[in-house]
Amino acid sequence: MATMIQRALLSSALVGAVAAAATCTTTDPCAGPTRCPATGELPFPVLSDYDFFQGSMVEEVPKDGVIPYTVVAPLWSDQAGKGRFIVLPEGGKIDFEAREGWGYPEGSIIIKSFYFDHDRRDPSAGSDTVETRLLIRKGGEWEPVTYLWNEEQTEATLLKVGKRVEFSFIDEDGASKDEEYIVPNLDQCRSCHERSDEMHSLGTVTPQLNFEVEKDGKMVNQLEWLAEQGLFSGALPAVDTLDRFAAPFDADAFELDDRARSYLHANCAHCHRDGGAANKSGIDFLRWETDPEQFGVCKLPAAAGAGAGGRLYDILPGRPEESIVTYRMNSLDPEIKMPELPNRVIDEKGLALITEWIAAMPVKECGVP
């Protein structure tokens, strides 16, 4: 686990050096920013076949047409860092939707890599990438695949059945730690991305992308920047008319309720919504749900079993310590924990946020009008 990837120190000089050291000659048309993917049916057996990146692939310096993006309210993945990109086919455009359900053309690929810093006190100490997941638009549907990186960090290979990966890092307090990370199997991909028998991209929805990001040293609205890159088929509506999620841990910029609801959307609503895998729970954590009972206030659990922990309601206003939601977020027991997959580490910051949010609700006795 020794490869030191200098993400933060990446420079064009480094990219050039790596490219020159590659097996191709400097006149190789594929060594530069032009993609030269393999031919044949998708998904390819190895990640390098897609030719998304120039130079050392693990550094994820995108080639032309590999468009980086980020989300304002990320899914907790055991504190993995993530690289995210959209790749459209030649001439392809996205049909924009104001909230979700963007229409992607056949052949589109959404890329998400998961990496862990070697030293959580110092991102410049490098990281190891564990897996790179793709959603491939094929036959009018998203097909999920994931690629497991080798220890040398030179290649990633298609893996269907999932894997438990052990890794080590230095934690925030400077202590050496070992953790297990779960690379999902393809059904587990579906268990989050599928609703009503259809696969969806969860990150590329309007409110997740509608925020200010830094590009070339300036702050710009990410949706507008993506529009400038030519991603959308039509004109983008004025971004201030579109939904936006809050950054869950930016208490200076956003209200507590907005932050908590955005967090719950990002981490829970892929299952807990109409058509989602957990719709039978009767809970709907969509950010735009307005009925408090729908998102758990004074709601009796459906079949929570041990997940209820003896608590009566999903959310008991003013009393986080008596609410099922916080109980389940604070467990790693497979029968209790939420989300069910795939974390091995509790999201302490997320738990604190939801605890604070429930505590701030006016105390109410449930079932009493």
Task: Decide: is 109 part of the binding site for another protein (CB under 8 A).
Answer: no
Return all residues near 113 (Cβ < 8 A) that are at least 6 apart. Answer: 60, 82, 83, 84, 129, 131, 132, 133
Q: Are strands 127-138 and 194-195 parallel, antiparallel or unpaired?
A: unpaired
| Contact range with another protein by CB under 8 A, out of 62-70, 180-188, 234-242, 355-363 | 180-188
Answer yes or no whether residue 302 interacts with another protein by CB under 8 A: yes
Contact 93, 107 (CB under 8 A): no
**Is residue 345 part of the contact set for another protein (CB under 8 A)?**
no
CA distance 131 to 115: 7
Task: Please tell me whether residue 124 adopts helix, strand or coil conformation.
Answer: helix
**92 vs 282, beta carbon nearer another protein:** 282
One residue of 62, 123, 282, 318 binding another protein per CB under 8 A: 282
Strands (E), 69-126: 81-87, 109-117
Establish if 182 lies at the interface with another protein (CB under 8 A). yes
Of residues 244 and 311, the one with the C-beta less far from another protein: 311
Give the Cβ contact number of residue 360 at 10 Å.
13
CB 316 within 8 A of CB 348: no
Position 48 contacts another protein (CB under 8 A): no
Nearer to another protein, 258 or 322 (CB): 322
Q: Which of residues 160-179 bind another protein (CB under 8 A)?
A: 160-162
Position 352 contacts another protein (CB under 8 A) = no
Q: Does 331 bind another protein (CB under 8 A)?
A: no
Question: Nearest CA to 329 among 310, 350, 302, 314?
Answer: 350
Contact pick of 300, 346, 351, 359 for another protein (by CB under 8 A): 300
User: Least separation, in Å, of the C-beta of 77 and another protein?
Assistant: 14
Q: Which is nearer to another protein, 135 or 304 (CB)?
A: 304
Task: CB nearer to another protein: give 277 or 286.
Answer: 277
Q: What minimum distance in Å lies between the beta carbon of 354 and another protein?
A: 19
Nearest C-alpha neighbor of 94 from the set 103, 107, 85: 103
- Closer residue to another protein in complex, CB, 298/346: 298
Identify whether the C-beta of residue 275 lies closer than 8 Å to the C-beta of residue 291: no
Q: Distance between CA 137 and CA 284 in Å, rounded?
A: 27
CB of residue 258 to another protein, shortest distance in Å: 24
Distance (Å, rounded) from C-alpha 87 to C-alpha 104? 10
Six-digit token string for 34: 């032009």
Two tokens at 185? 């199997």
Q: Which of 60, 117, 194, 347 binds another protein (CB under 8 A)?
A: 194
Least Cβ distance, residue 293 to another protein (angstroms): 5
**Which residues have a Cβ under 8 Å from the Cβ of 29 and sit 6 or more positions away?**
36
- Kindly state the tokens that stand for 38: 């393999």
Can you tell me which of 251, 335, 348, 360 binds another protein, judged by CB under 8 A?
335
* Closest to 165 measured CA to CA, from 182, 178, 142: 182
User: Whole-number minimum distance, CB 177 to another protein, in Å?
Assistant: 18
By CB under 8 A, tell whether 188 contacts another protein: yes
Q: To which H or E segment does residue 359 belong?
A: helix 348-360
Which residues, in sequence order, are CB contacts of 312 under 8 Å at separation 6+? Answer: 300, 322, 324, 366
Number of residues that bind another protein (CB under 8 A): 42
| By CB under 8 A, residue 318 contacts another protein | no
Amino acid at position 353, single letter: L
- Residue with smaller CB distance to another protein, 119 or 293: 293
Q: Is residue 191 near another protein by the rule CB under 8 A?
A: yes
Q: Which of 199, 220, 298, 345 contacts another protein by CB under 8 A?
A: 298
Interface residues toward another protein, by CB under 8 A: 160-162, 182, 185-188, 190-191, 194, 277, 279-282, 293, 297-306, 308-313, 333-335, 340-342, 366-368
